Amino acid sequence: MEERRGTCPPSPLLLVTLLMLLNPSLAMVPTLEGPPGVDMKNYIYAGDTVTVGGVQAYDADSNATAAGTIAFDNSVVVCQFLYGSGATTATTSCNMSFTMWRVDYMTNRTMINFTIYHPMHGSFENYINPYYMACVQVADLAAPTVRSDRLCYYYYIQLPPFYVPACPPFSSYCYLDNALQLQTYLGVGQYLDKRVYFKDNNAIGITADPRMDSVQIDLVSDPGYPNSMNIDNLRGGLNDILTASVFTNLISVRFDSLSNPGYSQYFFSRGVKFTPDLSQAGLKYRFCFTAREIHSSTFYINNVSASNQTNLTCFAMEVVLPNIQVQGSVVTNGTMDNPTYLDLTVGCDYSWNFTSWEARDFPSTASSIDYMGFQQGLYKPHAIVDQSNPLPPGATLSSREAVKVCWDRTLACTSPTYEISRQEIRYTPTRGQQSLQMKACLVFQDQTYPNLQMRVFCTIFRVNKCKVCIRTDETLLKIAHDYRIDWLQLWSANIQIQNPYALGTSGVLLFGPTFPIIQNTSIADAALRFRTPERSLRSMNPELLTDWIPPGTILCVVPDICQTMSQM
């Protein structure tokens, strides 16, 4: 028998290695073990650097083979930033690093550490229940497809309680209707009944979510709050979940600009009630709340010694007077010291419509920034007559009529919803009011709070001389008889009249010319100069109560032409 030298049978270890190389499925599956006593769900705070150590990878294969060597499978090493219920991945990334080293060659154990670096600020502040999910997986070096199960750690980003804003005026995109604005303009007499809302941002807000922390809301003593403002007790959150009320109802809230719908939330809140009086008009207030999370160690056992997060939120409030706007010819630009003039004629029927409204009730004036928190529809302006400057005798002012208009204060829309006030002045100057010049003023005030005098508009009603409006069915003969002048003279002064017995229903008749009086003149001298009877001068100029005409008088003169011609 021939003896072969220089060779020996292959070792069992070599055979196993060759078999695993040829058939990776024969390699033992590596395993991962977390450090004992470490919960896999933890807090992480802004600015934290969290290192997880003691994760052990174990390979049952021999440590002298490739199969017994641990390797990372980089394709499945995951660090994601998630939020909400975990179904959505945010558009941000983790900052994480890994290290690994062999610690026991006899048992094929490899230690793995990984570190998460969390910034102070970032997009995570805009999400509900933001957290990191860091997962590690290892593979057999000899058989990369032979992988361990993934071992995942969850790091919930601990955020201060989230202030929940309110709806801007006239906005359909909002959060909570009855939340107090950060900047509020409060009208005198307006009843403010709002709530300051905060939520725990580390919970979805559903009843089954154990991550919801309590939130303590406290009023800061400095700078305090206005006199007569009431702050009620804390409501909401854990204690109210099973008995949801108007303050803690489960509401769908959108916290970001993404197109996906918001999450339903429970809130913590305190009520703010305040009605400023007239003495507080123009005052500006600032008051602040601290919202502090209070979490327990029953769910998270890591980092429970870290300080609770606090949100200091301050609110500004300004008490404003009504901003009443007025439109109409009788009240346009006329003030007490600089009134406008209305030239009128005896016998003519006049009517002037005007409207008034609160400027902040309309979106064209009340922008979402300027008047947040102002109560639209609070003020209902109307005009009354100033008793020191009344309307002319015979003039009337109608009561307030509420009119619904469109956003631009016109009626040309399908559903007018904004309210303005409309009123009317009516006046027909009568004989004897020629030369009347009278200043009349309207005082605009709020119907609900009449002590708030808001604006004053003044107009001078000036009735012209030597003119009269034609009334229905009047004739030249009747008008001439009333004013004791010759009807033929009246006809000659109004050459536009074709038929003295059919004057129509409108138009103005001219009695004669007017002359300014420069110096003090007796009525007798004026009658002689203008060849007219004294009684005619007094009839056409009813303000002449003595025998003298003062300088500056505009004299209406009707010369007795027919009598003069008969004497020629």
Q: Are residues 316 and 208 in the same domain?
A: yes
pLDDT at 302 (0 to 100): 39
Name the helix (H) or strand (E) containing 539.
helix 534-540
Choose the final residue of a domain: 158, 191, 207.
158
Q: Are residues 168 and 315 in the same domain?
A: yes
Q: Are residues 31 and 86 in the same domain?
A: yes
Q: Answer yes or no: is 7 within a domain.
A: no
Q: Answer yes or no: is 4 within a domain.
A: no
Q: Could you give the number of structural domains in the chain? A: 4
Choose the final residue of a domain: 465, 483, 501.
465
Choose the final residue of a domain: 320, 340, 363.
320
Q: Are residues 178 and 316 in the same domain?
A: yes
257 contacts 193 by C-beta, under 8 angstroms: no
Taking the C-alpha atoms of residue 356 and residue 422, their distance in angstroms, rounded to an integer, is 7
- What DSSP line would sit under 382-413, residue for residue? EEEE-TTSPPPTT-EEPPPEEEEE-TTS-S-S
- Which positions of the chain have pLDDT values less than 50? 1-26, 36-39, 75-76, 87, 90-91, 170-174, 208, 242-244, 246-249, 254-261, 297-306, 366, 564-568
Q: Are residues 426 and 348 in the same domain?
A: yes
Q: Are residues 433 and 560 in the same domain?
A: no
pLDDT at 155 (0 to 100): 76
pLDDT at 275 (0 to 100): 92
Q: Are residues 24 and 114 in the same domain?
A: yes
CATH number of the domain encompassing residue 439: 2.60.40.10
Identify the DSSP state of 262.
-
Q: Are residues 146 and 176 in the same domain?
A: no
Residue among 399, 383, 442, 372 nearest 175 (CA): 372
Q: Answer yes or no: is 405 within a domain.
A: yes
Q: Answer yes or no: is 1 within a domain.
A: no
Q: Which domain holds residue 414?
A: 324-465
Q: Are residues 354 and 212 in the same domain?
A: no
Q: Answer yes or no: is 200 within a domain.
A: yes
pLDDT at 391 (0 to 100): 96
How many CB atoms neighbour CB 519 within 10 A? 8
Q: 3-state DSSP call for residue 354?
A: strand
pLDDT at 400 (0 to 100): 94
How many CB atoms neighbour CB 93 within 10 A? 10
Share above pLDDT 70 across residues of the chain, in percent, rounded to a whole number:
66
473 contacts 460 by C-beta, under 8 angstroms: no
Taking the C-alpha atoms of residue 512 and residue 233, their distance in angstroms, rounded to an integer, is 81
CATH number of the domain encompassing residue 245: 2.60.40
Q: Hey, what amino acid is at 28?
A: M
Q: 3-state DSSP call for residue 166?
A: strand
Q: Are residues 408 and 549 in the same domain?
A: no
Taking the C-alpha atoms of residue 442 and residue 496, their distance in angstroms, rounded to an integer, is 39
Q: Answer yes or no: is 5 within a domain.
A: no
Q: Are residues 120 and 171 in the same domain?
A: no
Q: Are residues 350 and 489 in the same domain?
A: no
Taking the C-alpha atoms of residue 498 and residue 53, their distance in angstroms, rounded to an integer, is 114
Q: Answer yes or no: is 497 within a domain.
A: yes
pTM for the whole thing? 0.61
pLDDT at 146 (0 to 100): 75
399 contacts 422 by C-beta, under 8 angstroms: no
pLDDT in tens, 218-245: 998 887 788 889 998 888 765 555 444 5
Q: Answer yes or no: is 103 within a domain.
A: yes
Q: 3-state DSSP call for residue 480?
A: helix
Q: And the tokens for 153?
A: 């750690």
pLDDT at 497 (0 to 100): 86
pLDDT at 375 (0 to 100): 80
